[in-house]
Each structure stands twice: as C-alpha cells, then as structure tokens.
Amino acid sequence: MCRNIRTLHHFEPPTTPEEIRAAALQYVRKVSGMTKPVRDAEAVFARAVDQVTAVTTRLLDALPLRAEARTREGEQAKARARWERRAQSRTANTPSGPDVGRGASVSMTSRGERARRRSGSARKRVTRR
C-alpha cells in the first residue's frame, strides 16, 4: 500500500469528503505513475479520481463499525511510535568498532567481489559490440 494513503474507516470525527478525495488522488497518482497528468490525460485522470472517490465513499458507508472509533491523534501517536521503533532498530544495526569510518564495508559482498562483477559485465558489453 502507498505510504501516503491512510486508513479512513471509523474515525471520530468522521472522515471528511476532502480526506476521501485526497486518498483517491494519491491512489490514482500511484497507479498511473504520474503526479500530474499530461494535458491529453487530464480528463481521464480527473474521471478516475472521481470514480475512486465515489467507490471509496460507498465502501466506507457499507463497512460495519468497530467497537471503538479511531482518532487522528491516536493514529498519529501510533505512527510516531512505529517511526521511533524503526529509528532504534537502524541505530542498533549500525556497525561500531575500530573499522567504522575507515572505509570498512558493511555490505555482504566484498569490494573485490563487486569489482570482479563490474569488470565481468564490462567485458560482456565489449564482446557484444
């Protein structure tokens, strides 16, 4: 799922039509691979956003409610906690020791192996010409 598209179901206060349209726009942008349509495709792009908005609205209206409504503040707190966990795991996986900062490779492949791969692919390109 696109990271910018957020859960819209069962919020207090209820999800607004603007939030639904913004999510539809993000979806169409992701699927089409363009943030702004070319002039020839503007009508098709706008129609797709309208259709996704309408379908999303119908879906949200038809879904059963959960026991407790979500709040935007609660969702922000959850996102912040996820970000902090990711940041902690990144720092926990950061190498430390005497070789850090001295050109030590963190990669699973050695520098020599990467050089051999590059030279091999260069040879292949030369022989193809």
Q: Decide if 7 contacts 66 (C-beta within 8 A).
A: no
Interval 98-105 mean pLDDT: 55
What pTM, to 2 d.p., does this model score? 0.57
Residues 6+ apart with CB under 8 A from 54: none
Collapsing DSSP states into helix, strand and coil, what is residue 95?
coil
pLDDT digits (tens, 9 = 90+) for 48-67: 999 999 999 999 999 888 77
Phi, psi of 80 (to 5 degrees): -65, -40
Interval 94-123 mean pLDDT: 60
Domain count within the chain: 1
Range of the domain at 81: 17-91
Q: Looking at residue 14, what is its pLDDT? A: 84
Q: Looking at residue 119, what is its pLDDT? A: 64
Q: What is the DSSP letter of 15?
A: P
Residue 24 and residue 13: Cα distance in Å, rounded? 20
Residue 21 and residue 38: Cα distance in Å, rounded? 20
Question: Would the pLDDT of 1 be above 50?
Answer: no
Q: Is residue 115 part of a domain?
A: no
pLDDT digits (tens, 9 = 90+) for 15-44: 899 999 999 999 999 999 998 899 999 999
Q: What number of helices (H) and strands (E) belong to the chain?
A: 4, 0
Q: Is residue 69 part of a domain?
A: yes
Q: Is residue 103 part of a domain?
A: no
Q: Is residue 123 part of a domain?
A: no
Q: What is the DSSP letter of 14?
A: P
Q: Looking at residue 129, what is its pLDDT? A: 47
